Amino acid sequence: MVSETKQERVIRKEAFTALFNESETLPELLFETPEEAAGSIAALMRGFWKFVDDSVEREVPHHTQTCAKGCSYCCSQPIFMDIFEAVACIQCMEGEEIATAFAEGFPAWQENFTPQQPVLWKALQEDKWDELGVLTNKLTAPCPFLLNDECSCYEARPMVCRTWVSKKFKFLCRMNPSNIKYTLKCQDTVHDAYNRVLLHIATSFEIPLAAGGWTTLPLAYNSVEGNGAELLKHAIAKHLTYSR
């Protein structure tokens, strides 16, 4: 994880508190420079991620989960995310371990993902979730951030990964059936908080929310060589994502 400035620490803590109380406003973001903006977005998202982790832990305590370090059965499928969360993830990712894992894993992931990419984005944009489910079954390459079956960017993993938990026997995870994921009761609350955070970012920068949109962490990371500020500049300047 990157080091945190005093202002970013304040943003993170205030965001975490505000998400538990809808009457409280989310903290103001900094945007004098792209680097400062990416840092404040990352801080806001870290507050959101802690909100997610706490919500999941209260409902499904970690000791009751099948999930454990070294288990990566759920990491061979596409993980979709908004471009603003991708900015935050990338801003929080640094170190040789992440770069090494990605360099080793991305070619196979890209070869598996690229043929399906146009149809996937179309299904996402048109909310064709049944069709999307069929397509994602064809995407079986491991996440390029896996290193020795462990997530090299675990602290900066996106919301989708944080809410994917299982309470069933691990051998069932290996087969990865559609019903292996535990259905969280807090899922709607988490998604409402996620949308609130994304809208706050778009409003703060006075840009359309469409400047965000769908992408995947591997595509975003590969496009800007791990530079969160560059990804943010692209999203704002072009009002589109690397996925489209």
Contact 193, 15 (CB under 8 A): no
Per-residue pLDDT of the chain (244 residues; tens, 9 = 90+): 568 899 999 999 999 999 998 889 999 998 888 899 999 999 999 999 999 999 999 999 988 888 888 888 888 888 888 889 999 999 999 888 999 999 999 999 999 999 888 888 888 777 787 777 777 778 888 999 999 889 999 999 999 999 998 887 776 777 665 667 788 999 999 999 999 999 999 888 877 665 557 788 999 899 888 888 888 887 777 654 545 4
Indicate the pTM of the whole model: 0.90
- For the chain, counts of helices (H) and of strands (E): 11, 4
Q: Which of 218, 194, 199, 224 is nearest to 209 (CA)?
A: 199
Burial class from Cβ neighbours inside 10 Å (0-12, 13-18, 19+) for residue 143 reads buried
